[in-house]
Amino acid sequence: MVVRSHLSDAALDRLFHALADTTRRDIVTRLLGGTDASVSTLAARYDMSFAAVQKHVAVLEEAGLVTKRPQGRERMVRGNPHRLAHARQLLQRLEHLWTSRFSQLDAILAEPRPPKE
């Protein structure tokens, strides 16, 4: 059984690829509180170059997990909880699928077996 999402396979791949990195997950966590942050502010929190943080933000933006908008000379970044909800919904469907399969297996294993001759 294939579990489908209304996102394309490519979009789901980008989403889970973006979430596969610790730094990117931390950036998403910081931004989902509802406050925007500049890329400069985000970069100050990590022991890496501004360019490296900018690349992480670009991966998150490509996955739809954040949006960027100009504000003066800075680029403000905002989290997109709706895109994260897509990942959660897909994982919940997969969990339901596996739970039901384990329940079926439990039922099969609980059936009495005829004695061996």
Of residues 45, 4, 51, 1, the one with CA closest to residue 23 = 45
The rounded distance, in Å, linking the Cα atoms of 74 and 39 is 7
Summarize the confidence of residues 78-84 as an average pLDDT. Answer: 91
The per-residue pLDDT for range 33-69, each reduced to its tens digit, is 888 999 999 999 999 999 999 999 999 999 999 999 9
Rg of the chain (C-alpha set): 21
Two tokens at 71?
Answer: 């504000």
Q: What is the mean pLDDT of the chain?
A: 87
Looking at domain 9-110, its CATH class is mainly alpha
Two tokens at 69?
Answer: 């908008």
Residue 11 has pLDDT above 60, yes or no: yes
Q: State how far the alpha carbon of 52 is from the alpha carbons of 42, 48, 55, in Å.
A: 11, 6, 5
